[in-house]
């Protein structure tokens, strides 16, 4: 007990010191000129020489401000493991640091790997270095307590670094805290749901009662209907709870109400949904074998989910920007083709207000308010807006990340057009094979389509979520696509509070009823909120 009290007192003193030293004004931009190399910013640029990530230095180690040849050193801290998203972000970081060092003669980016974000010693190491005045110039904030750092005035407001008109409004606003941009991501994942008008109505966001009514209209009792194709009732419940979690909590006041009749009704409703529904059959070619349709296009889950909604075997479909695959069609167009002439509309993310789609930060970065290399930090962050970063060195036919900056879409579209023209010059068959027909709908082949609706959806994506849920849903989650890197599917706690995920799993496993589940969540979540308040 005595050791525990001493440890608590030491921690309190450390964080009190941190808060006290965190009130200095943001630094003036250093007089360090940057000279980018003249190499092309496209994916065809030469590969830079490898730059190994630095070993995390001891807290007591001094960090040099300049290299022997006069380059200003830019320290970038990040966790390297602990979740799928963290591993991805760290891989992007190491690649981007290599490219940055190759492109700029005045800076040298050094990556500080803090290890596994789920390990307490990793977070302790990071916070100890911050307390010791050794906060990295830039943080890739996956797995970090950003809100806490913001409250302690540790992060720099990057609002002045960009022209808001150049970026998608909804996502950019969702990244702000009290009107300031302490954290920004060049790439985002956007998710929206859609369904037939005759079941959902044709306007407005859906409340939980609207969802219950829509299912009642849709479900004919045959047992062949799905809420969302391929999803169990437990997974649907987790999706709904993750979307409506804020309806049952007041994090500012550290209170929650999971024993309310509304939450109990949600649990009981989900229990009545099908426990299992048929998986999407991605081998179904819709009779288009040999028609010129790309096999990869026919295997896109967005297309198959849309067909399920059109055929009325599923109430809802999911449209999401792709994190795993790139292809020359915006995802909404696959939905449009799959839905044919049916009357349908997007309802945004379940639980979001004003039909907003959800937005997830793929590569969130923050800058230290005390960095001595503010110009280098600004140069690094500004470099992230390039289409090269979105492509991650891949084919010019792929754009596997959804950019926050509007002009990248136009640049990509122009690149696609040039690519198609080049293909036609190399092989005359591409001059004529420009369209195929899918469900009697002409589809451009190797040709971009109208992005207007797609951009409208992206522009309104102002509902921030903790994880890109659609990337984990069957049939193609990362554990199936990359079994060597990700041998297991991520836990449900990836996109909903782990406390809720654990108790809901027990509920659907028959271990406890809805009332007991709600009481356990209420008790455990209350403790969690109080711990968060104490910081």
Instruction: Give the residue carrying structure tokens 């999971």.
Output: 258
What does the pLDDT read at residue 244? 83
Residues 148-161: what's their mean pLDDT? Answer: 94
On the question of pLDDT at 54 being above 60, the answer is: no
Bridge-based pairing of strands 344-348 and 226-228 is unpaired
Instruction: Please state at what angle helix 261-272 crosses helix 208-218, rounded to 10 degrees.
Output: 20
On the question of pLDDT at 375 being above 60, the answer is: yes
What does the pLDDT read at residue 424? 65
User: pLDDT, tens digit, for every residue of 384-434?
Assistant: 988 777 765 555 555 567 788 888 877 776 776 676 677 667 766 555 443
Q: How confident is the model at residue 294 (pLDDT cuts 50, 70, 90)?
A: low
Report the C-alpha gap between 455 and 408 in whole angstroms.
12
What mean pLDDT, rounded, does the chain reach? 77
User: pLDDT, tens digit, for every residue of 457-515?
Assistant: 888 888 888 777 766 677 666 666 667 766 666 666 666 778 888 999 999 999 999 99
45-54, 55-64, 191-200: which has the highest mean pLDDT?
Answer: 191-200
User: pLDDT, tens digit, for every residue of 350-367?
Assistant: 877 778 888 889 899 999
What does the pLDDT read at residue 333? 74
Bridge-based pairing of strands 435-438 and 255-256 is unpaired
On the question of pLDDT at 74 being above 50, the answer is: yes
Long-range pairs of 413-420 with CB within 8 A, sequence gap ≥ 24: 413/448, 413/451, 415/42, 415/387, 416/328, 416/446, 416/447, 416/448, 417/447, 417/448, 419/446, 420/446, 420/447
Report the C-alpha gap between 214 and 211 in whole angstroms.
5
On the question of pLDDT at 119 being above 90, the answer is: no
The structure tokens listed for 97 are: 């640091």
Report H helices in 21-83.
none
Bridge-based pairing of strands 226-228 and 314-320 is parallel
7-21, 212-226, 395-409: which has the highest mean pLDDT?
Answer: 212-226
Instruction: Give the residue carrying structure tokens 């970081």.
Output: 93
Q: How confident is the model at residue 33 (pLDDT cuts 50, 70, 90)?
A: very low
What does the pLDDT read at residue 288? 61
Residues 73-99: what's their mean pLDDT? Answer: 90
What does the pLDDT read at residue 490? 64
What does the pLDDT read at residue 47? 31
CA atoms within 13 A on the CB side of 68: 0
On the question of pLDDT at 201 being above 70, the answer is: yes
On the question of pLDDT at 124 being above 60, the answer is: yes
What does the pLDDT read at residue 367? 98
What does the pLDDT read at residue 317? 92
Q: State percent of the chain over pLDDT 90.
A: 34
Q: What is the DSSP string of 484-532?
A: TT--SPPPGGGTS-HHHHHHHHHHHTTSS-HHHHHHHHHHHHHHHHHHH
Residues 263-282: what's their mean pLDDT? Answer: 89
| Higher-scoring residue by pLDDT: 236, 269 | 269
What does the pLDDT read at residue 76? 97
The structure tokens listed for 187 are: 């790439």
The structure tokens listed for 135 are: 């906060």
On the question of pLDDT at 311 being above 50, the answer is: yes
Q: What is the DSSP string of 162-199?
A: S-GGGB-HHHHHHT-BTTB-S-B-SEEEEEEEEEEHHH
């Amino acid at each position: 007990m005595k050791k525990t009290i001493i440890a608590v007192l030491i921690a309190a003193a450390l964080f009190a010191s941190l808060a006290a030293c965190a009130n200095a004004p943001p630094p003036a931009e250093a007089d360090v000129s940057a000279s980018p190399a003249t190499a092309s910013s496209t994916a065809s640029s030469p590969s830079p020489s490898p730059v190994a990530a630095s070993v995390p230095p001891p807290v007591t180690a001094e960090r040099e401000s300049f290299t022997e040849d006069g380059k200003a050193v830019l320290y970038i801290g990040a966790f390297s493991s602990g979740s799928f998203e963290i591993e991805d972000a760290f891989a992007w970081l190491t690649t981007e640091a290599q490219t940055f060092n190759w492109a700029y003669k005045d800076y040298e980016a050094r990556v500080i790997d803090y290890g596994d974000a789920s390990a307490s010693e990793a977070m302790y190491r990071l916070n100890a270095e911050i307390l010791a005045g050794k906060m990295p110039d830039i943080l890739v904030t996956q797995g970090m307590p950003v809100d806490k750092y913001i409250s302690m005035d540790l992060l720099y407001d990057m609002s002045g670094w960009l022209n808001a008109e150049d970026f998608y409004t909804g996502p950019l606003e969702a990244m702000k805290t009290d009107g300031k941009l302490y954290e920004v991501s060049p790439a985002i994942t956007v998710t929206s749901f859609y369904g037939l008008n005759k079941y959902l109505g044709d306007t407005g966001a859906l409340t939980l009662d609207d969802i219950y009514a829509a299912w009642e209209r849709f479900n004919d009792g045959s047992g062949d209907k799905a809420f969302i194709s391929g999803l169990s009732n437990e997974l649907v419940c987790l999706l709904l709870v993750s979307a409506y979690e804020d309806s049952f909590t007041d994090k500012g006041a550290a209170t929650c109400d999971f024993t309310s009749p509304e939450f109990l009704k949600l649990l009981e409703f989900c229990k009545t949904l099908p426990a299992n529904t048929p998986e999407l059959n991605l081998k179904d070619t819709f009779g288009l074998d040999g028609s010129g349709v790309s096999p990869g296009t026919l295997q896109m889950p967005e297309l198959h989910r849309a067909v399920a909604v059109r055929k009325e075997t599923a109430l809802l479909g999911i449209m999401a920007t792709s994190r795993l695959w790139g292809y020359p069609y915006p995802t909404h167009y696959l939905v449009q083709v799959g839905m044919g002439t049916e009357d349908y509309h997007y309802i945004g993310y379940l639980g979001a207000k004003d039909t907003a789609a959800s937005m997830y930060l793929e590569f969130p970065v923050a800058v230290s308010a005390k960095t001595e290399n503010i110009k280098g930090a600004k140069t690094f962050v500004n470099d992230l807006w390039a289409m090269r970063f979105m492509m991650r060195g891949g084919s010019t036919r792929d754009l596997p990340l959804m950019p926050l900056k509007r002009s990248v879409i136009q640049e990509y579209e122009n690149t696609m057009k040039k690519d198609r023209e080049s293909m036609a010059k190399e092989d005359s068959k591409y001059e004529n094979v420009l369209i195929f027909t899918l469900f009697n709908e002409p589809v451009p082949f190797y040709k971009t389509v109208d992005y207007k609706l797609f951009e409208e959806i992206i522009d309104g994506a102002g509902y921030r979520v903790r994880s890109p849920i659609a990337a984990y849903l069957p049939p193609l989650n990362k554990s199936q696509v990359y079994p060597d890197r990700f041998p297991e599917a991520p836990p449900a706690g990836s996109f909903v509070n782990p406390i809720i995920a654990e108790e809901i799993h027990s509920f659907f496993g028959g271990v406890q009823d809805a009332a007991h589940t709600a009481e356990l969540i209420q008790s455990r979540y209350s403790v969690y909120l109080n711990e968060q308040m104490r910081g």
